[in-house]
């Protein structure tokens, strides 16, 4: 999945301060873009089409006219639930690479 660190075939590691930008599309899906940090002047780490079902990690949610931004505040992982559904969860504390 683009440039995210792979945990396993259904899970990718997100940076502690990642910004996940979700834009609603006309076909009912969402265009999801992941940046390692909102302040960094870098290209996105990942882009995907699907639906971000929920964010189960400490975050700040900012509503936008075309969607929303989830600003993560802790190490997290992006988990594929099925072909079109995704969840963000806090990374397990026992994971030494979660920072």
pTM of the predicted model, to two decimals? 0.86
**Which among 43, 46, 24, 22 has a CA at the least distance from the CA of 34?**
46
Strands 19-24 and 46-56: unpaired
Q: What local confidence, expressed as pLDDT, does residue 29 receive?
A: 87
Q: What local confidence, expressed as pLDDT, does residue 52 receive?
A: 95
Q: What local confidence, expressed as pLDDT, does residue 42 receive?
A: 86
Q: What local confidence, expressed as pLDDT, does residue 11 receive?
A: 95
pLDDT truncated to tens, each residue of the chain (99 aa)? 578 999 999 999 999 999 999 999 988 889 999 999 877 788 999 999 999 999 999 999 999 998 999 999 999 999 999 989 999 999 976 554 544
Give me the residue spans of the domains in the chain. Answer: 5-90
Q: What local confidence, expressed as pLDDT, does residue 1 receive?
A: 52
Cα–Cα dist 20/92, whole Å: 19
Q: What local confidence, expressed as pLDDT, does residue 21 receive?
A: 96
If residue 33 lies in a helix (H) or strand (E), which one and from where to where? Answer: strand 30-35
């Amino acid at each position: 999945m683009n440039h995210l660190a792979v945990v396993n075939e259904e899970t990718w590691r997100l940076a502690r301060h990642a910004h996940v930008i979700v834009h609603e599309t006309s076909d009912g899906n969402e265009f999801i873009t992941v940046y390692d940090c909102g302040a960094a002047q870098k290209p996105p780490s990942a882009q995907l089409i699907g639906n971000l079902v929920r964010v189960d990690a400490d975050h700040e949610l900012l509503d936008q006219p075309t969607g929303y931004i989830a600003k993560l505040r802790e190490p997290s992982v992006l988990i594929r639930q099925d072909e079109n559904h995704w969840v963000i969860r806090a990374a397990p504390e026992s994971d030494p690479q979660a920072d």
